[in-house]
Amino acid sequence: MDMKTSPSPEHDGVRRQVAECVARARAAQRVYDGFDQERVDEVVLAAGWAIMEPARNRALAELAVADTGLGNVEDKVIKNHRKTLGLLRDLRGAKSVGVISEDKAKGVIEIARPIGVVGAVTPSTNPGATPANKIINALKGRNAVILAPSPKGHGTSTLLLRYIHEELDRVGAPRDLVQQLAAPVSKAATQELMRQVDLVVVTGSQNNVRAAYESGTPAIGVGAGNVSVIVDETADPAQAAEKIRRSKTFDNATSCSSENSVVIVEAVYQRMLDALREQGGVLLDAAQKQRLQQTMWPAGKLSAAVTAKAAPVIAALAGLHGPAFDSARFLMVEETGTGEQHPFSGEKLSPVLTVYRARDFEHAQDIVRAIYAYEGAGHSIGLHSQRPQRALHLGLVMPACRIIVNQAHCFATGGSFDNGLPFSLSMGCGSWGRNSISDNLNYKHYLNITRVAAPCTPDEPSMDDMFGAYRRRHGLA
């Protein structure tokens, strides 16, 4: 081998370390492959209890905030609880072992089979809830899973794994079903994990998503969030503002599903701004907006200093002082443009909301298209309206995989107890977001399906059945 292409000793060490981890996972998964549905569901509940037991939940939330500096404890407690409880509800009674469906008329039997070893790349924004979600889904499919957490989130996921291992011991399942890369987690180790496992699932930076797709391993990545929500002339401003505030401020906007822009139809623009102010929003003037922009993008890149921080903290960093800023729940800036020269049109991961004025509903759609042409295509669009047909219209023509109607967006997009979407912390963005899936990542994505096909009653149309009407319409002989 040419010396220029020979692996370095460091890379050999990383490869061996990952290989040892994967080998243990494969051995554990072979044992787990023999579990029946009842035992699998017990393992799933065990993993859920590991994060949902109240004292453990709070310990994980406190450690997550202490280690990452992102979000706030009380909201992370709620997120850990609701997202895991909702996922367990979705999985209860779902078949993932053996025969899962049979179509006797067509002679097709579907059998659920495990994928094997899953590599799960997880972000610092949700270092407890996101790993738990991926672990539970992977276990539902009788897979082993190895986490590649963000460096800041490693301590939280380490504690989560300790709790999970205690529960796996309780139900008699192998501990090596759930592992993680050793600290410090390097880019090289994460990429090596991607190469060695059977499936990669990635939530986090778009660099990691691209690396997963380039790894040569089947991969599921999710697109960038940059949610826009439209408020039309039929909306109730007070109700819309309350929902936007709850979503925008939850966990200091760590969620990719938090609203980044609100596009307000002119007929209700002033009333909506007043309603947002009533909810604790502070609208910046042009000079204040410029100071905030310089603080948030000091070198053209979003500063980690403002990510998932409370609004008063961000305001103080920008030199904005006074009673209004000290008590602000979120900051608002008016914008007219989109793209790199207008950074407020992009994802902000903070309680900062960009406000656009639209002439009418059609103009609002044009603004959202322009925003998503810059960032966020495929994720989702929020709509506050009393015209249901407008939601359907958005679904037919806009580049978004979810249209969230009259709901607090970050609670609804990833599944809620009052809508029918699967509970998930990873939302596929389809081809618009350069993703392989367009739905919420769920347990079905962690399964192989084998189909047994037996002979059935023949169903072969004649040429006239298939083309007769077509030939008559077009005068064909």
Q: pLDDT tens digit string along 90-119?
A: 999 999 999 999 999 999 999 999 999 999
Do 32 and 177 form a contact (C-beta atoms < 8 A)? yes
In this prediction, residue 191 carries a pLDDT of 94
CATH class of 9-222+440-452: alpha beta
To 10 degrees, what angle do helices 154-171 and 54-68 make? 160
In this prediction, residue 62 carries a pLDDT of 98
For the segment 141-187, what is each residue's pLDDT rounded down to a tens digit?
Answer: 999 999 999 999 999 999 999 999 999 999 999 999 999 999 999 99
Encoded tokens for 160: 């989560």
Query: Which residues in the chain are classed under CATH 3.40.309.10?
Result: 227-416
* Reduced 3-state DSSP string for 209-236: HHHHHCCCCCEEECCCCCEEEEECCCCC
H or E stretch at 306 = none
Q: Is 448 helix (H, G, I), strand (E, B) or coil?
A: strand
Query: Which residues in the chain are classed under CATH 3.40.605.10?
Result: 9-222+440-452
* Cα(120)–Cα(446) distance, integer angstroms: 11
Instruction: Pick the range with the lowest mean pLDDT from 6-10, 126-130, 255-259, 392-396.
Output: 6-10
Length of the chain counted residue by residue: 477
Do 375 and 398 form a contact (C-beta atoms < 8 A)? no
In this prediction, residue 63 carries a pLDDT of 97
pLDDT-derived band of residue 6, with 50, 70 and 90 as boundaries? low
Q: Judging by DSSP bridges, how do beta strands 117-122 and 199-202 pair with one another? A: parallel
* Cα(431)–Cα(74) distance, integer angstroms: 36
Q: Which fold has domain 227-416?
A: Aldehyde Dehydrogenase; Chain A, domain 2 (3.40.309)
Predicted TM-score (pTM) of this structure = 0.93
Whether residue 4 has pLDDT greater than 50: no
Residues assigned a catalytic role:
256
pLDDT-derived band of residue 2, with 50, 70 and 90 as boundaries? very low
Angle at 355 between CA 349 and CA 361, to 5 degrees: 120
pLDDT-derived band of residue 1, with 50, 70 and 90 as boundaries? very low
Do 77 and 59 form a contact (C-beta atoms < 8 A)? no
Do 407 and 229 form a contact (C-beta atoms < 8 A)? no
Q: Which of 253, 374, 364 is nearest to 311 (CA)?
A: 253
Residue 458 Rama label (left phi>0; alpha psi -120 to 50; beta): beta
